[in-house]
Amino acid sequence: MTSFKTEIDLPNPNIRNLYPVLPSALIPSLKPEKAIEVYEQALKKNPKDGALASKIGKALVKTHNYVKAINYYEAALKTEQQNFLRYDLAELLMKMKQYQRCETVLLEALVHESVNELQALSDNCRYLVLLAKVQNKVDKTEEALLSLQKARDVQAKVLKRVQLEQPDAVPMQKQLAAEICAEIAKHYTSQRGYERAVKFYKEALVYCETDHKLMLELARVYLTLDDVDSCHDQCSIILKNDQLNEDATLMMADIMFRKQEYEQAVFHFQQLLERKPDNYPTLSRLIELLRRAGKLEEVPRFLDMAEKHSSRTKFDPGFNYCKGLCLWFTGEPNEALWHFNKARKDNDWGQNAVYNMIEIYLNPDNDTMGGEVFENLDGEIGNSTEKQESEQLSVRTAEKLVKELKPQTPGGHTQLRILDNYCLLATKQKANIEKALNVFTEIANNEKDHVPALLAMATAYMMLKQTPRARNQLKRIAKMNWNIVDADEFEKSWLLLADIYIHSSKYDMAGDLLKRCLNHNKSCCKAYEYLGYIMEKEQSFRDAALNYELAWKYGNRTNPTIGYKLAFNYLKAKRNVDAIDVCHKVLAAHPNYPRMRKDILDKARMALRP
C-alpha cells in the first residue's frame, strides 16, 4: 500500500501506467472504500483521465454509493473526451430505475455523425440494445422495437467489419446478433405477430445454428400457430442432441395430442412425471392437454402419483393449482376455488390461480356469456332472489381479486384491463356494460385482431341486445387462424356465434362452429349441449340424447340442467330406465329441482308399468 501512495505523490511521468493496475491490485486486497480513496488521489493529479473516473464509478457501485458514482461519471463526461463512460452511466441509471435520465444519456450518445469504424459501430449497437431495454421498462414498446431494429442493422455492419479486422471476435458478435433478433421476435410474440416472430427467430438461428434455447422459442411459436410439422422438426433436432430436454419432450407430447396419438403423448408425460412426480408445471400442462383430448378421467392417477411422492404434497401450491384445474375442468367450481385459494399467495402459481378464481366467480356454471338460447329455458331456475344475491357477492369477490393481479408484460396489463371490465359486465347494469364496452373497443382499435378484446366487445353488445354488432365481431374472429394462446377465447366466440345462429334457426351454420369447438376441445360440454338442443329441435331425440350424454359425462355428471335435458330426451327416445337413472342422480344432489319428478320421473315409471 505504501509503495502505491509514494508513487502517486512523486511527480513521475510514467504514473499513468500505474492507474490500470490499481483495480486488480487494490480492490481484491483492500476494502472498496480504501481503493476509492486511492483512486481519488490519483484523479486529482489528472482530472481528465476518464479511465480513472470509470474505475471510481465501478468501485462506488460496489459500495452501493450509486449517487456519487453517477456524479463521477457525469463529471468525466463533461470533459467530452470519455464518451465510452456513457454506457456505464446509462447502465447504472437503469439499475436505479431512473429510466428517463437513462434514456436521455443513451439518446445523447447516439447523436453524432455517421460512423464506420468498428469500435464506434460496436458502441452504437450496445447503446441501442440498452435503449430498447429502458424503453420496454416504461412501456414504450414501439420505440423499443425501433431501437432493436436499428441495433440489428448496425450489428450487420459490425459483422462485416469484424470478419476482416478481428476474426477471433466473430463468434461473440454473432451471438450478439442472434440475441438482438431474438429480442425482436419476443416483441412480436408479445404483440401476437407470430409470423414475424418466426422470421426473426429463424434469422437468429442463422447466426447461432445449434442454440437449443432459440430452437425451443421458435418451436413454441410454431405450436402457437398450430404448425405442428415445423414444431416437430425443431423438437426432433433438439432431442437428437439432448434426449432429456424437458421442454422439447413436452412439446412433442403436445404435438401427439393434436394428432390424436394420445397413448404416445401420455407416455412422454408419464416418463417425465415418473422421474419427478412433483413436476407441477408438467402436470398442469398434461391436465390442459387431457382436457382437450377428452381424457380427463386419466388425471387422478397422476395426482395420486404426486401425493404418494411426499407427505407434504397436499400443502404444495403447485399441487393445489393442478388439483384446482382438474376440478374446474370437471364441473366442480367450488372445490376448484378452495384449491386455487391455497395457491393464491405463491410466487410461481399465485397469479394464474387468481386469474382462474376470477373467471370462476364471474361465470361459475360456465355459461355462454351474452348467449340467448338457454336464457329462457333456465329462467325459472336462474332468477331466484337467493341466486341473484349469490351472483352479486361473486362479482364483488372477483373485483377484490382483480386488485391482487400484478402483470409484468404489456400483454398482461391488457389482459388485466379486459378482466377488470368483465367484472362490470357481470353486474348486468346497462351503464356498467356501456362503460366496459368503451374499454374493449379502445383495446380492439389499438391492437389489431386482439381476440379477447373482440370477444369481450361481442359479449357486451349481446348484453345490450345489439345482436348484429355482436355478430360482426364474432364473424371476424371466426375467420382468424386458431392459436393456443387465445384457445379459450376462440372457443367462447364460436359458442356465442353458434348461439346467435341457433336463435335464428340457422342450425347448419351453428353445427359447423360447434364441431370446430370439439375439434380443439373434446371436453367442451357447452358444444355438446348446443348440439343436443339442435337435435331436440329437429325432433331427433336419440341423437339429442347422445349429445346430452357427452355434455353430462364431461361435466362430471354434476350440472342438473344438463341432467334434466338428458333425462327428458331419454324419455322421448323411449329409454325409460336410463331416464329414471339420471333423474335419481340429479334429485340426489338437488332434491327440489323443478319439474324433474312431474315431467320425467313419474312418466318414465308409468311407461314401464305393464
How do residues 341-388 score in pLDDT, each as one tens digit? Answer: 999 999 999 999 999 999 999 999 899 999 988 876 554 454 567 778
Grid cell of 528 as nine digits? 355438446
CA–CA distance, 488 with 455 (Å, rounded to integer): 11
CB atoms within 10 A of CB 399: 17
pLDDT bin (cut points 50, 70, 90) of residue 606 is very high
For residue 447, the 8-state DSSP code is: S
pLDDT bin (cut points 50, 70, 90) of residue 510 is very high
pLDDT at 609: 85
CA–CA distance, 343 with 388 (Å, rounded to integer): 29
Same domain, 458 and 473: yes
Same domain, 405 and 511: yes
pLDDT bin (cut points 50, 70, 90) of residue 10 is very low
Same domain, 510 and 550: no
CA–CA distance, 370 with 473 (Å, rounded to integer): 13
Same domain, 387 and 434: yes
Grid cell of 328 as nine digits? 374446474
CA–CA distance, 580 with 570 (Å, rounded to integer): 9
In a domain, 410, yes or no: yes
pLDDT at 267: 83
DSSP H helical ranges for 138-209:
141-165, 170-190, 194-207
Domain limit, last residue, from 494, 520, 546:
520
In a domain, 589, yes or no: yes
DSSP H helical ranges for 330-450:
333-343, 350-362, 379-382, 385-402, 410-426, 430-446
pLDDT bin (cut points 50, 70, 90) of residue 236 is very high
Give the H/E segment covering residue 53: helix 50-62
Q: What percent of the chain has pLDDT over 70?
A: 85
Task: Determine the residue type at 32.
Answer: P
pLDDT at 5: 39
pLDDT above 70 (res 468)? yes
Q: What percent of the chain has pLDDT over 90?
A: 61
pLDDT above 60 (res 498)? yes
Mean pLDDT of 501-525: 95
Domain limit, last residue, from 493, 520, 547:
520
pLDDT above 80 (res 75)? no
Same domain, 429 and 468: yes
In a domain, 559, yes or no: yes
Grid cell of 72 as nine digits? 463521477
Mean pLDDT of 601-610: 90
pLDDT at 408: 83
Mean pLDDT of 57-69: 67
Give the SS3 label for residue 344.
Answer: coil
Angle (CA) 415-137-449 rounded to 5° is: 35
pLDDT at 318: 97
Model confidence pLDDT, tens digit, residues 154-185: 999 999 998 889 999 999 999 999 999 999 99
In a domain, 573, yes or no: yes
Contact by Cβ (8 Å): 538, 545: no
CATH number at residue 567: 1.25.40.10
CA–CA distance, 210 with 205 (Å, rounded to integer): 7
In a domain, 144, yes or no: no
Same domain, 535 and 497: no
Question: Domain span at residue 584?
Answer: 522-610
SS (H, E, C) 110-157: CCCCCCCCHHHHHHHHHHHHHHHHHHHHCCCHHHHHHHHHHHHHHHHH
Residue with cell 415418473: 274
Mean pLDDT of 263-290: 89
In a domain, 316, yes or no: no
Positive or negative: CA dihedral 373, 376, 380, 383: positive
Same domain, 417 and 537: no
Residue with cell 430452437: 215
pLDDT at 102: 86
pLDDT at 523: 94
Angle (CA) 248-249-250 rounded to 5° is: 90
Same domain, 502 and 383: yes
In a domain, 204, yes or no: no
Task: Determine the residue type at 67.
Answer: V
pLDDT at 85: 74
Number of domains in the chain: 2
Mean pLDDT of 386-409: 91
Same domain, 536 and 602: yes
pLDDT at 415: 93
What's the number of CA atoms in the CB half-sphere (13 Å) around residue 333? 14
Give the H/E segment covering residue 40: helix 32-45
CA–CA distance, 301 with 562 (Å, rounded to integer): 27
Domain limit, last residue, from 486, 520, 554:
520
CB atoms within 10 A of CB 348: 13
pLDDT at 370: 92
In a domain, 250, yes or no: no
Mean pLDDT of 559-565: 93
CA–CA distance, 18 with 24 (Å, rounded to integer): 11
Contact by Cβ (8 Å): 218, 201: yes
Same domain, 467 and 398: yes
What's the number of CA atoms in the CB half-sphere (13 Å) around residue 307? 10
Same domain, 565 and 498: no
Model confidence pLDDT, tens digit, residues 132-153: 999 988 888 899 999 999 999 9
pLDDT at 84: 66
pLDDT at 141: 87
Model confidence pLDDT, tens digit, residues 569-592: 999 999 999 999 999 999 999 998
Same domain, 439 and 588: no
Contact by Cβ (8 Å): 485, 361: no
CATH number at residue 503: 1.25.40
